[in-house]
Structure 1
Amino acid sequence: MRVMSNDDTRDIERAKGMALVTGGSRGIGAAICRRLAEEGHAVAVGYGRNAEAAQAVVADIRAAGGRAEAFHIDVNELDALDDRIAEAERALGRLAVLVANAGITGDTARVDEQSLDNIESVFRVNALAPIVCAKAAVRRLSTRHGGSGGSIVIMSSVAARTGGAGGMATYGASKGAMETFILGLGKEVADEGIRVNGVAPGIIDTDMPPDELREAAENVVPMRRLGKPEEIADAVAWLVSERASFVTGECVTVSGGR
């Protein structure tokens, strides 16, 4: 078997185009960035606060022979998201894949005990930002706008179907909105060269799930364990690849049977 040279890797990256991942500095997002780099994409590692962690992901990708850059993409700044995608394109080439991964759980509390600021923040990050990112991506990818097609993946959660664990109804609602959006946008742009899908993780071994939910995993997850970020990344990599060329408007559940 011939070992690929750096020139070979760059040729593949140019052919596959750039993948932009929001929330790419840690946890599931970091695993997705590394996995898409393995698939041959140049990767824009989006981060909100932790520049050092994002640079560590970039260093890992480069050490493995891939191409990546870190970009400050605060998904709270909705008006700036199109500019951030344009910045990534100038550095890494045309957008081919958008992974809207950034998300927050918000306060773990009953709805009647939550502040309006918390409710608005959860929906701004988990629902409005992915929609705005998708809007910017469609304008670049759609054949209607002169693009050559591509793939959008939006991160959901099993909470969209279960309603969320105790105190996480708002979070579950924000993810439920995304599953409806995935279905609707998938139909809207299906004949314009864009596939739109989602991944709904269960309880994954990151710093995002509340401690009580992590501790309950052994009882509530049929496979009796936490999921791994890499298992979510594998699902994303499949969805954006040609192996899933006839899949759109779907949300793949990766939850250990939950």
Structure 2
Amino acid sequence: MPLNSGSDTKPVVAVTGASRGIGHAIVRHFYKNGWDVITLARTPFSEVCPWADGIVQHLKVDLADTQSVLDAAADLKKLLDGRGLNALINNAGISPKAPDGARMSAIKTPIATFLDVQHVNLVAPFILCQELLDPLRQAGGSVVNISSIAASRVHPFAGAAYAISKAGLSAFTRELAHELGNSGVRVNTVAPGEIQTSILSPGTDELVESQVPMKRLGRPEEVAEVVYFLASELSSYVTGTEIPINGGQHT
């Protein structure tokens, strides 16, 4: 079924991991600014989303499974029904912990867990960018990848597999921006630090107090605003860059 929009002139954004936290803040911000929003998540459409037609613009996908990602990309193109894709936001990510909740080290991470993290956090964005390149080109669109402060620094809570996947996502951003520079498609990354979400680890308050000059957690909405800037024409000459959103952490 095509997008249920009152106007084909609305820009269209697709967001993975859109059911909670940063992803949910992102979809709310784009919707508030008049975009058609397509959500992709492993969970059903969230009832707290503020628009009734979202349920028919929601795609369930298992980002750890290649075929599921390919199927979701095909379904997304059917939803577009010939329209271009103005923005793709690769937000979904997983960061598994040890059984006692501790950080998973590189040496002790099970191989299967490592591969799952890479597929969700890095391979799935890779596939989506390849599969959705034509509608992105059609719209002169933008890709925004959600990396992490852990991509460039050893983090006390984010595991090694997560950090490796996010470092790869940052490198993928640079490569894709270089390749697509003359195509009209821009590719950028944001790297959040300590953001107020449901997956914060115990000890985050102490980390914020000792390492974040602004002495507070970031809000998901503060990430969404930067993502929107990079996805929109407000940043029309910005590509291949990474913007940290961390209150000055690691400065």
TM-score, L = length of structure 1: 0.85
Q: Alignment RMSD, CA only?
A: 2.1
| SS at structure 2 position matched to 1:211 | coil
Matched, 1:124 2:115: no
1:161 and 1:202 map into 2 onto residues whose CA distance is: 11
Residue identity in the other structure for 1:112? I
Match of 1:43 in 2: 37
Does the aligned pair in 1 maintain the 2:148–2:190 contact within 8 Å?
yes
Residue identity in the other structure for 1:73? V
C-alpha deviations, 1:129-188, integer Å up to 9, x for none?
A: 11111111213322xxxx232111111001111132256222111111111110110010
Match of 2:107 in 1: 112
Distance 1:173 1:152, change over 3 A: same
Residue identity in the other structure for 2:112? D
| Identity across matched positions, percent | 34
Does the aligned pair in 2 maintain the 1:163–1:173 contact within 8 Å?
no
Does the aligned pair in 2 maintain the 1:98–1:152 contact within 8 Å?
yes
TM-score, L = length of structure 2: 0.87
Match of 1:6 in 2: none
Does the aligned pair in 2 maintain the 1:203–1:214 contact within 8 Å?
no
Match of 1:91 in 2: 79
Match of 2:178 in 1: 187
| Pairing of 1:67-86 with structure 2 (within 5 A) | 69-86=57-74
Distance 1:256 1:61, change over 3 A: farther
Match of 1:217 in 2: 208
Match of 1:26 among 20, 24, 36: 20
The offset of 1:79, in angstroms, is 2.3
The offset of 1:115, in angstroms, is 0.9
The offset of 1:220, in angstroms, is 1.9
Number of equivalenced pairs? 238
| SS at structure 2 position matched to 1:253 | strand
| SS at structure 1 position matched to 2:38 | strand
Distance 1:115 1:89, change over 3 A: same
2:232 and 2:159 map into 1 onto residues whose CA distance is: 33
| Structure 2 gap segments, 5+ residues each | 98-102
| SS at structure 2 position matched to 1:203 | coil
Match of 2:100 in 1: none
Q: Name the structure where helix makes up a greater proportion of residues.
A: 1
Matched, 1:10 2:1: no
C-alpha deviations, 1:101-151, integer Å up to 9, x for none?
A: 100112222222221111111111111111111111213322xxxx23211
C-alpha deviations, 1:12-59, integer Å up to 9, x for none?
A: xx32432111000000000000111122211112111x32xx33244x
| SS at structure 2 position matched to 1:196 | strand
Does the aligned pair in 2 maintain the 1:21–1:33 contact within 8 Å?
yes
| Structure 1 gap segments, 5+ residues each | 1-8
The offset of 1:70, in angstroms, is 1.9
Does the aligned pair in 2 maintain the 1:111–1:167 contact within 8 Å?
no
Residue identity in the other structure for 1:105? S
Residue identity in the other structure for 1:181? F
Distance 1:171 1:67, change over 3 A: closer
